[in-house]
């Protein structure tokens, strides 16, 4: 009888005595949000940057879990703090700063897609109207030689002269000619060039590659029906040998140049393996990611890593 009471006590302790596990939204509110409701980059560091990237990623998560109340709050933050009405168009400041006069294509597209999805999920047409306005601004002024470029500087009224290939997520605001750059890239090399210089009309490659960029490019190519066999084979070999992937690699030597791992890298690695149909490898990535997250990597994680991990968990 005594043993039964002990077991019952332990069950009750696990259910309630240790306290309710905080939701992702509660963690964001507690660790990443200032008194004005704005999300900063690092937990409890209110002087860290406030980015449109952060806002868009949280909006993406909130559509994933269908949290209408908190999504609405983030839309208000977008309109109150990040939205700029300039030269007859609506732009999103890439960060909150008095000197910020540019947007960032990848962040804009993420926010536009979140608004479009939220409009369908929550039945709110105002979200789609806002998404259309943001898309119109990108399409109207953010091009060079028929290519959608990285940003537009409304203080100078000038678009950028480069297009980063990892930014080419599927969206109607981006020109069809831009996606052709993904198809024309040399896939005989393991790693892809990072961007296309519209003035020089050539691809530009760095000596050190960032794995998030490489994985995003590979995913973007898959969406357009272009496999990346050299990259995929190297990636599988690297994972099978190391059982981990580092944040940056040497383009020529194919060796890691840093000793850190990233929760966001693993989000995209899992997505890429899943896209390739490599479900066992994807499962291995997920298990490894859970282990390093539980081992302290979430404790002081940049919001980019924190929310990508939460989206990875949510999608399982």
Rounded distance between C-alpha atoms, residue 21 and residue 163, angstroms = 42
Which CA distances in Å does 226 have to 181, 232, 269, 276, 288? 11, 12, 17, 12, 28
CA distance 210 to 217: 11
Give the count of beta carbons closer than 10 Å to the beta carbon of residue 237: 11
Query: For residue 239, is it left (φ>0), alpha (ψ between -120 and 50) or beta?
Result: alpha
CA distance 17 to 244: 36
Q: Where are the beta strands (DSSP E) in 113-207?
A: 143-144, 147-148, 152-153, 158-159, 162-164, 195-197, 202-204
Number of helical (H) and strand (E) elements in the chain, helices listed first: 12, 11
The answer to whether 151 and 103 are in contact (CB under 8 A) is yes
**Cβ proximity of 71 and 122 under 8 Å:** yes
Residues in the chain: 316
* CA dist., res. 211 & res. 265, Å (int): 7
Which residues are within 8 A (CB) of 286 and not within 5 positions of it... i.e. 6 or more apart? 266, 270, 312, 316
Where are the alpha helices (H) located in 188-297, listed in sequence order? 211-223, 229-242, 263-275, 279-292
Closest CA to 114 of 97, 96, 93, 135: 135
**pLDDT recorded at residue 10:** 40
Q: By three-state DSSP, how is residue 221 classified?
A: helix
Domains, the chain, ranges and CATH?
47-160 (1.50.10.10), 185-316 (1.50.10.10)
| Residues forming a β-bridge with 210 | 248
How many Å apart are CA 81 and CA 230, to the nearest integer? 43
CB 274 within 8 A of CB 228: no
pTM: 0.92
Helix (H) / strand (E) element for 84: namely strand 83-86
Is the distance from CB of 209 to CB of 253 less than 8 angstroms? no
Q: pLDDT tens digits for the chain (316 residues)? A: 444 444 444 434 444 444 578 999 999 999 999 999 999 999 988 889 999 999 999 999 999 999 999 999 999 999 999 999 988 899 999 999 878 999 999 999 999 999 999 999 999 999 999 999 999 999 999 999 899 999 999 999 999 999 999 999 989 999 999 999 999 999 899 999 999 999 999 999 999 999 999 999 999 999 989 999 999 999 999 999 999 999 999 999 999 999 999 999 999 999 999 999 999 999 999 999 999 999 999 999 999 999 999 999 999 9
111 Cβ partners below 8 Å, 6+ apart? 52, 55, 56, 59, 78, 92, 131, 134
The dihedral formed by the CA atoms of 160, 166, 171 and 177, expressed in degrees to the nearest 10? 60
């Amino acid at each position: 009888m005594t043993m039964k009471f002990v077991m019952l006590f332990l069950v009750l302790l696990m259910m309630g005595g240790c306290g309710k596990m905080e939701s992702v939204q509660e963690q964001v509110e507690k660790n990443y949000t200032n008194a004005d409701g704005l999300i900063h980059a690092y937990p409890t560091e209110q002087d860290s940057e406030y980015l449109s990237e952060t806002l868009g990623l949280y909006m993406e998560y909130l559509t994933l879990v269908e949290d209408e109340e908190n999504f609405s709050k983030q839309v208000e933050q977008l309109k109150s703090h990040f939205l700029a009405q300039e030269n007859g168009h609506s732009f999103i400041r890439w960060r909150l700063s008095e000197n910020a006069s540019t947007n960032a294509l990848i962040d804009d597209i993420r926010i536009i897609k979140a608004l479009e999805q939220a409009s369908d999920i929550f039945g709110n047409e105002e979200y789609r109207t806002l998404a259309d306005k943001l898309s119109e601004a990108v399409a109207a002024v953010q091009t060079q030689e028929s290519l959608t470029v990285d940003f537009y500087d409304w203080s100078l009224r000038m678009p950028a002269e480069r297009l980063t290939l990892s930014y080419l997520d599927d969206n109607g605001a981006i020109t069809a000619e831009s996606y052709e750059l993904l198809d024309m890239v040399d896939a005989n090399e393991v790693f892809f060039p990072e961007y296309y210089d519209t003035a020089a009309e050539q691809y530009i490659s760095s000596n050190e590659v960032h794995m998030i960029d490489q994985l995003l490019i590979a995913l973007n190519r898959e969406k357009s029906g272009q496999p990346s066999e050299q990259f995929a084979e190297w990636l599988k070999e690297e994972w099978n040998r190391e059982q981990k992937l580092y944040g940056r690699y040497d383009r020529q030597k194919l060796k890691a140049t840093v000793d850190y791992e990233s929760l966001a890298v693993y989000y995209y690695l899992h997505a890429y393996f899943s896209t390739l149909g490599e479900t066992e490898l994807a499962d291995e990535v997920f298990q490894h990611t859970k282990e390093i997250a539980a081992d302290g990597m979430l404790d002081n994680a940049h919001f980019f890593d924190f929310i990508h991990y939460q989206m990875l968990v949510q999608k399982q």
